[in-house]
Amino acid sequence: MNRKTISFNGSLVNLENPLIMAILNVTPDSFFSESRCQTERRIHSQIEDFLKDGADIIDVGACSTRPNAKFVNEKEEMARLGFALDVIRKHFPDILLSIDTFRSVVAKKMVEDYNVAIVNDISGGELDKRMFDEVARLSVPYVLTHSKWNEKAERNLPCCDENFLQEVVRFFSQRIAKLNSLGLKDVILDLGFGFSKSIEQNYFLLKNMSLFNQFDLPLLIGVSRKSMICKLLQINPNEALNGTTVLNVLALNQGVNILRVHDVKEARETINLYQFYKTIEL
């Protein structure tokens, strides 16, 4: 089974009960428009709602990684994050923050200046080769996402056999070993749903998610309102809450520890119902 504890800001957190990571996008172009927060009032209000509804972690992102998005430059990402985190720390000084970035220099500044507890790198270290060294130096938990930004190999791999699973296992094995060799043990695995994968590959990974418990590391799932739901059901992200809930339940049933979501209230209800269901015996 995957590890049930992790250290955030020096405190050991129990993962027996799955955590909720709420998505806060300080971007004008994230794929789900309702998640965009660009004013102090909107940021403050959104986080208040997240906390009231049961969020454990706030994941702040300032560079959209939606399909076909053009990355903003480092200076712009820094400016957006600095504005948002100034607001957050002014009103919510003690909440757990995660930073959604693939740039090591951004991760460094946000951890050091704003006491960010987690670095969430959707590129798995592919887009900035300095990232592993930096998060190890910072000694903060790192979300390692399966993603290959420098190649398109995933789409050409068989999607429903052992070869595809072993490719993903190999990806994690190599990078976990590298991070461990640098002294970083607090690694969270994200299978990278929606990144360089076909719909079939996404669902095949979801169906076999429990395989990755072999690494004895916490598992995170981020499927909230993504195209793997929308394309299959022929709907838009605004209509994808029900599909998100279904996939989160399937992941909970395979031992996932963190749900990364736009809709915190619904995710909390999902976890509560699932946890109660698990207590019922014949």
Specify the DSSP element, H or E, that contains 124: none
In this structure, which amino acid lies at residue 197?
K
Average the pLDDT over 214-227 and give the result.
Answer: 96
Q: CA–CA distance from 153 to each of 164, 194, 200, 260 (Å)?
A: 10, 14, 15, 26
Query: Do residues 191 and 198 lie in contact, with contact meaning Cβ atoms separated by under 8 Å?
Result: no
pLDDT-above-70 percentage for the chain: 89
Amino acid 69: pLDDT = 62
Amino acid 153: pLDDT = 46
Average the pLDDT over 20-29 and give the result.
Answer: 87
Whole-angstrom Cα distance, residue 126 to residue 109? 20
CATH code reported for the domain at 18-275: 3.20.20.20
Residue 63 banded pLDDT, cuts 50, 70, 90: confident
Whole-angstrom Cα distance, residue 210 to residue 261? 20
Amino acid 154: pLDDT = 46
Query: Do residues 145 and 123 lie in contact, with contact meaning Cβ atoms separated by under 8 Å?
Result: yes
pLDDT tens digits for 192-220? 998 888 899 999 999 999 999 999 999 99
In this structure, which amino acid lies at residue 96?
L
Residue 33 banded pLDDT, cuts 50, 70, 90: low
Q: Can 130 be counted among the known catalytic residues?
A: no
| Phi, then psi, of 228 in degrees rounded to 5 | -65, -20
Whole-angstrom Cα distance, residue 223 to residue 267? 12
Residue 281 half-sphere exposure, CB side, CA atoms within 13 Å? 1
Indicate the average pLDDT of the chain: 90
Whole-angstrom Cα distance, residue 165 to residue 178? 20
Instruction: Give the residue extent of every domain in the chain.
Output: 18-275
Residue 31 banded pLDDT, cuts 50, 70, 90: low
> Catalytic one among 260, 265, 268, 278?
260
Query: Do residues 172 and 191 lie in contact, with contact meaning Cβ atoms separated by under 8 Å?
Result: no
Nearest to 107 by CA among 90, 83, 132: 132
Q: Which two tokens stand for residue 162?
A: 């052992």
Amino acid 199: pLDDT = 92
Q: Can 226 be counted among the known catalytic residues?
A: yes
Sign of the dihedral through C-alpha 228, 207, 201, 174: positive
pLDDT tens digits for 145-198? 998 765 444 445 556 678 889 999 999 999 999 999 999 999 999 999 988 888
- Angle subtended by helix axes 264-279 and 40-53, to nearest 10: 10
Position 77 pLDDT exceeds 90 = yes
**At 253, is the secondary structure helix, strand, or coil?**
coil
> Catalytic one among 226, 231, 265, 278?
226
If one compares 180 and 1, the residue with the highest pLDDT of the two is 180
If one compares 128 and 161, the residue with the highest pLDDT of the two is 128
